[in-house]
Amino acid sequence: MIADLSFWIFSDYAVSTAIKLAVVMLIIPLTSLILVYVFLFKMMAFMQSRLGPMEAGPHGSLQLIAEALKFLQKEDIHPDNADKHVFALAPIIVLMSTFLLYVVLPVGPDLVVEDLDTGIFYAMAVSSLSALGVLMAGWASANKYALLGGLRAAGQLIAYELPLVLAVVGVVIQAETLSLQGIVHAQANWEIFGIGSGMPFIVTQGIGFAIFMVAAQAELTQTPFDMPVAETELVGGFHIEYTGFRFLLFFMAEFGTAFAFASIASVLFLGGWSLPFVDPTANWLNIVGPGVMLAKILFLSMIIFWVRFTYPRLREDQLQKFAWKLLIPAALANIVFTGVFKVAF
């Protein structure tokens, strides 16, 4: 039994898993750091003729670390009437959903934590877990604003989840696989009408891409779909009663998920770590791939945050209308067109 256990601990499998785990644990705070600094602090500031943070580190680049340290020192307040256990559990579930998303994200030919067969399907399922956490937070806080925020989050889930899933189907039809690694390879080898090789799916999935990005915006509760948070209406919505570190968890999860969604979109529509006209099995892509992917992710994140800083907020009923009367029919039509395209050519 003991020999068995030590075999397990020192096996290649266990070691590689431990390394992967450590890398992801490092990456998630790092991604929120990058996104918050580059977009929330600097790009937003420049868009609004300000400088943004300038004091902590060169050009304020260490600001978020200072903020995190500040949050660590803040009191952890549980409201009297709150449902203690659910209240404590909610941010963990939200963060867990972010963590689990990173399992399937490929960044190079061999660089992926676990290339699950169900890949994209798993990612969609796991990402909706965060809505559960948000609903729990809203309900457990024993605060009316939080309750309204939580209910709005639930309402939003049923509005954007479908377009998100249906927009993916077009890509799946073209790639003939659910695995994210498989989808990247499918794009790297894909030729459209015999022209070029390694064209990204966005060439034919333009509508799908647009629907996916809009739905992702809603999933990430970024303006114009930030009704569950809505500072000026619900004063923060579901996380209104959270203080200190627990609030930071929500914050980290928000940006970690934004990063994960940008990477899913880049895998599905922009070819992930692959480059056009490049052999996807080349070993050097393991080095260059993450950089290529990061460039694509930052580009997509820029779009997400650009929209966030520009548009006013929609109303809950307008989101439902938008989703059911525009996004879902468009996504269904996209599936049919892609199917016809696939069978015809």
Could you say which residues in the range 291-310 bind another protein, by CB under 8 A? 309-310
CA dihedral 196, 201, 205, 206 (to 10 degrees): -80
Q: Spell out the SS3 assignment of 246-305.
A: HHHHHHHHHHHHHHHHHHHHHHHHCCCCCCCCCCCCCCCHHHHHHHHHHHHHHHHHHHHH
Q: Which of residues 227-286 bind another protein (CB under 8 A)?
A: 227, 230-233, 235, 240-241, 244-246, 249
> Interface with another protein includes 103 (CB under 8 A)?
yes
When the beta carbons of 113 and 292 are compared against another protein, the nearer one is: 113
**Looking at 53-61, 195-203, 257-265, 314-322, which segment touches another protein (CB under 8 A)?**
314-322
Q: Provide the residue type at 69 as one letter.
A: L
Which residues lie across from 192 on neighbouring strands? 195
When the beta carbons of 71 and 278 are compared against another protein, the nearer one is: 71
**Site track 104-143 with another protein (rule: CB under 8 A), x = hit:** ---------xxxx----xx------------------xxx
Distances in Å between the Cα of 105 and the Cα atoms of 111, 119, 273, 299, 342 are 9, 9, 10, 17, 26
When the beta carbons of 296 and 301 are compared against another protein, the nearer one is: 301
When the beta carbons of 262 and 319 are compared against another protein, the nearer one is: 319
DSSP letter, residue 238: G
**Cβ of residue 295: shortest distance to another protein, in angstroms?**
26
When the beta carbons of 103 and 292 are compared against another protein, the nearer one is: 103
**Site track 321-340 with another protein (rule: CB under 8 A), x = hit:** x--xx--xx--x--xx--xx
* Count of residues of this chain found to bind another protein when the rule CB under 8 A is applied: 96
Asked whether the bond before 29 is cis by omega within 30 degrees of 0, the reply is no
> Interface with another protein includes 219 (CB under 8 A)?
no
> Interface with another protein includes 51 (CB under 8 A)?
no
Q: Are 95 and 88 in contact (CB under 8 A)?
A: no
**Looking at 52-60, 154-162, 203-211, 262-270, which segment touches another protein (CB under 8 A)?**
154-162
> Interface with another protein includes 73 (CB under 8 A)?
yes
When the beta carbons of 283 and 310 are compared against another protein, the nearer one is: 310
> Interface with another protein includes 80 (CB under 8 A)?
yes
Q: Are 101 and 123 in contact (CB under 8 A)?
A: yes
**Cβ of residue 172: shortest distance to another protein, in angstroms?**
4
The string of DSSP codes covering 15-61 is HHHHHHHHHHHHHHHHHHHHHIIIIIIIIHHHHTT-----SSSGGGT
**Cβ of residue 278: shortest distance to another protein, in angstroms?**
25
Say how many C-beta atoms besides its own lie within 10 A of residue 15's C-beta.
Answer: 11
**Cβ of residue 201: shortest distance to another protein, in angstroms?**
13
